[in-house]
Structure formats: structure tokens, C-alpha cells
Amino acid sequence: MSVDVEKLWELQSVLSQLADREKAMSVKPEAFAEVDREFQSVNDEMLRLNQSLETLGKEHRRVEGELSDSQELLKKYQGTLMQVKNQQQYAAAWKEIEVARKHVKELEESALKTMSEIEGIQKQLDDRQSSYDGLKARHDEAHAAWQASLGDLRGEAEALRKKAGELEAALPEQERREFQRAFKQRGGIAVSRVTNDSCSTCRTRIRPALSQRLRRGELVTCEGCHRILYLEKTQA
Ligand SMILES: [Zn+2]
């Protein structure tokens, strides 16, 4: 079967130009990278503080709930104290009251402690929030300036993407599959040029039998790197 490896080579070259543009577009200029790092670190810090706030808030509500139950219980014991009939019942009721009072006191202390922790974290959050808006504005501005500077690259990438799509759509099914397989498995280089009877990517020598098939225009892959081999017309 004769194939037009020329088309695969062209597709390969368009895709590698596209990869260059995409790489260039992904590199953050230092002016943006600097404010971006600061912004990300403030965001991470605020996220961490908010998470602590949430955990402490839950803990505080739990303690408050338990405190309110214990206060009810204490009241109930204090009520029974009024109804005791003898010294023995009085001693027993008194003992329950003592235990309940101690528990209430512990819970009150615990609630105070979480409340003061919550206030501390809230203060840290407020401090950061006051500078956050200014930092975000600087971040967004630097980001917009960077994106605006990419105008040309973006247009070129768009054109290359379109061209690659057209070339790929025009390929016969088997060649497209073979190309895509090699492209995916071989680090974005599916087609390798043949120079001096060797694969120019991995330097494996092309055996004469394969060389003959190449010259006949068959789809031949390199025995070393499994890329599709491309022999320029002038050498064929
Ligand atoms: Zn090779």
C-alpha cells in the first residue's frame, strides 16, 4: 500500500509548531509570576484559616450543646434537693449536684477556650482580608497584561490548530491511527526523517529491506523508536 508520508510529515511539523506556541503561552512572565506566587500563598493561607475556623466553630457548637444539656441536668438535681425526705437522700442528691456542677464548669471553660481561639483566627483572617482586595486587583491586572501580550501567539496557535485538524481529517483511517498512536507514545514526535539511511531521531540504521519498502512509498516504522519514517522525495 502506498501512503503519502509527506502529509504525515507536514502534520507533524504543524503540531510541533503548535506545541512551541502553546509552550510559549504557558510560561508566566516574571512580572505576573511574582504577584501570582504572593496571591496563591495568601489564598492558601486564608483557606487554611477558614478551615480551622470551620473546625473550631463545629467544636464550639458541640460544646455549647453539651453545656446546655448539663445545665438542664444540674437544675433538675437542684430541684430534687428540695424534695428529699432524709439525710441519706440529701447526701445522694448533693453528690449528683457536685458532679454536675463540675461538668458544667469544665464545659464553660472549654467553650471560652474555643471562643477565644475562634476570635484569634478571625482576627488573622480580617488582617489578611484587608490587604487581599488590593493584592487581587494587582494579580488580575498583571494577568490581563500577560494575556494581552499573547495576542499574536494565540492567533498563530489557533491557525495551526485549524491546519492540523484539516490535515488530520484528510488522512486515511489507518495512517491517522498509526500517527496518533506514535504521537501519543513517542513524546509528540510521530514522524522521523531519514538521514543517511538512519532514523534522525534515534539514529537506528534502516535495514535495506525496510529502505526498499520506504522507497516504494509504504508506511514503515523505525525499528528503534517505532516512529513513522519519512524519506524526503529528493532522496527517494
Ligand atoms: Zn527511530
Residues 150-162: tens digit of each pLDDT:
888 999 999 999 9
Residue at 176 is within a domain: yes
In the chain, what's the furthest Cα-to-Cα distance? 118
Residue at 209 is within a domain: yes
Percent helix, percent strand, percent coil in the chain, to nearest 5: 75, 5, 20
Q: Is the dihedral of CA 234, 13, 3, 223 positive or negative?
A: positive
State the Cα torsion 51-52-54-59 to the nearest 10°. Answer: 150
Per-residue pLDDT tens digits for 25-57: 888 889 899 999 999 999 999 999 999 999 999
Domain containing 33 — which CATH number? 1.10.287.1490
The CA 193 to ligand 1 mean position distance, Å, reads 9
Task: Give the orientation angle of helix 5-26 with respect to helix 173-185, to 10 degrees.
Answer: 40
Binned at pLDDT 50, 70 and 90, residue 67 comes out as very high
The CA 198 to ligand 1 mean position distance, Å, reads 8
Percent of the chain with pLDDT over 70: 97
- CA gyration radius, the chain: 37
Give the mean model confidence (pLDDT) for residues 64-71: 96
146 and 176 in one domain?
no
pLDDT given for residue 82 in this prediction? 85
Q: Using CA atoms, how far apart are residues 230 and 217, in angstroms rounded to an integer?
A: 10
User: Where does a domain end: 96, 122, 152?
Assistant: 152
CA angle 68, 70, 71 (to 5 degrees): 65
Q: Using CA atoms, how far apart are residues 109 and 29, in angstroms rounded to an integer?
A: 53
Q: Using CA atoms, how far apart are residues 46 and 221, in angstroms rounded to an integer?
A: 54
pLDDT given for residue 5 in this prediction? 87
Start-end of H helices in 83-172:
87-149, 151-170
Count up the domains in the chain and report the number: 2
The CA 230 to ligand 1 mean position distance, Å, reads 11
Q: Which residue has the cell 499574536?
A: 152
The CA 109 to ligand 1 mean position distance, Å, reads 74
The CA 231 to ligand 1 mean position distance, Å, reads 13
pLDDT given for residue 170 in this prediction? 93
Q: How many residues are present in the chain?
A: 236
120 and 31 in one domain?
yes
Binned at pLDDT 50, 70 and 90, residue 84 comes out as confident
145 and 49 in one domain?
yes
Residue at 145 is within a domain: yes
148 and 176 in one domain?
no
The CA 226 to ligand 1 mean position distance, Å, reads 6
107 and 43 in one domain?
yes
Residue at 6 is within a domain: no
pLDDT given for residue 31 in this prediction? 87
Cell, residue 169: 481529517
Q: Which residue has the cell 449528683?
A: 96
Q: Report which DSSP code applies to 207.
A: P
The CA 32 to ligand 1 mean position distance, Å, reads 40
Task: Give me the chain's average pLDDT, please.
Answer: 92
Q: In which domain, by residue range, is 199 found?
A: 172-235
CA 100 to chain centre: 51
The CA 229 to ligand 1 mean position distance, Å, reads 8
The pTM for the full model equals 0.58
Percent of the chain with pLDDT over 90: 77
The CA 188 to ligand 1 mean position distance, Å, reads 14
Binned at pLDDT 50, 70 and 90, residue 208 comes out as very high
User: How many Cβ atoms from other residues are within 10 Å of residue 156's Cβ?
Assistant: 17
pLDDT given for residue 100 in this prediction? 94
Residue at 20 is within a domain: no
136 and 33 in one domain?
yes
Of the listed ranges 44-48, 83-87, 214-218, 230-234, the least confidently predicted one is 230-234
The CA 25 to ligand 1 mean position distance, Å, reads 30
Residue at 191 is within a domain: yes
